[in-house]
Amino acid sequence: MTHHTDYEAEHTPEAIRKRINAKYSQGYLKDSTYGAIDGAVTTFAVVSSVTGAGLSSGIVIILGIANLLADGFSMAAGNFIGTRAENQSERKSRREEKEEIELHPEGEKEEIRQIYASKGFEGETLEKVVEVITANKERWVDTMMQEEHGVAQGNPSAIKAGLATFTSFLVVGGIPLVAYVIDLIDPAILGSPFGPSCFLTGIAFFVVGALKSRYVEQHWALSGAETLGIGTLAAIVAYGIGLLLRPFAEGL
């Protein structure tokens, strides 16, 4: 009964309108989620490898912050460039569609007719659909972009996408370093910072993985456990590499 009520609430005209209008802003949540996953995994890998090598908390913090800033900026820049390129490609295709409608309106109208005929429309209904869509050029272009190019109306901001990635990378990626900062301030508080760092990072892995389930067909608990497992594997490998390199570190 609860699920039925929830579905009804999600399908009121107001809820549908809000969901449609919000679909592009949700892309930034996805950018944040994957930025957070990458930040937690890479930073904790650095922490694990340096700890395995037997280096001090100060070294862990230096290398961890260097990783946060360098990798975070790299990931954000890549997301910015990729999103910007997609937006530029969409604008180019939209301009070309407008030109084709101006130069070959009957041919473009036939494309609309065939697109909707393939969806099962026929006869007078099909002709009415074609008439309504082609009566407004912006609607006509939007329909061609969606049906021919697979591009939905609206563009996510490349700057916002990059900032979302960078911010989440810094915030979540900084969690593995918290225990080492505390240890640097007062070594007596934690004793060994690696254990608390593992605990905090494990929680971060699981929470971020659970959030990831919003964008994939996977139960939140399974998604959280999967991300936790991947992060743990990366940490084990990195820690093992640190152990192998410890003799070199001790000679420094």
Tell me whether residue 228 is exposed, middle or buried, using C-beta atoms within 10 angstroms of its C-beta: 0 to 12, 13 to 18, 19 or more: buried
Both tokens of residue 53? 């090598």
Query: Which of residues 191 and 66 earns the better pLDDT score?
Result: 66
The answer on pLDDT for 1 being more than 60 is no
What mean pLDDT comes out for the span 39-63? 85
pLDDT tens digits for 198-238? 899 899 989 888 887 877 778 889 988 988 888 888 878 88
pLDDT at residue number 231:
81
Q: Which of 17-21, 27-31, 104-108 has the lowest mean pLDDT?
A: 17-21
Percent of the chain with pLDDT over 90: 25
Say whether pLDDT at 39 is over 90. Answer: no
Mapped to the 3 state alphabet, what secondary structure does 117-129 carry? HCCCCCHHHHHHH
More confident site: 85 or 4: 85
pLDDT above 70 coverage of the chain, percent: 88
Residue 6 pLDDT > 50: yes
CA angle 49, 52, 168 (to 5 degrees): 35
**Whether pLDDT at 4 is above 50:** yes
Indicate the pLDDT class of residue 2, thresholds 50, 70 and 90: very low
pLDDT digits (tens, 9 = 90+) for 183-194: 888 888 888 888
| Model confidence at 12: pLDDT above 80 | no
Q: What is the pLDDT of residues 140-185, one digit of tens each?
A: 888 888 887 777 666 778 898 899 999 999 999 999 999 999 988 8
193 vs 182: CA distance, rounded Å: 8
Between 251 and 78, the more confident residue is: 78
* Nearest to 112, CA basis, from 92, 93, 98, 126: 126
pLDDT of amino acid 194 = 87
Give the whole-angstrom CA distance, residue 54 versus residue 239: 10
User: Of 40, 39, 44, 96, nearest to 70 (Cα)?
Assistant: 39
pTM for the whole structure: 0.72
Residue 31's CB is within 10 A of a number of other CB atoms, namely: 25
- pLDDT for 25 beyond 60: no
Instruction: Tell which residue, 167, 173, 166, has the closest CA to residue 47.
Output: 173
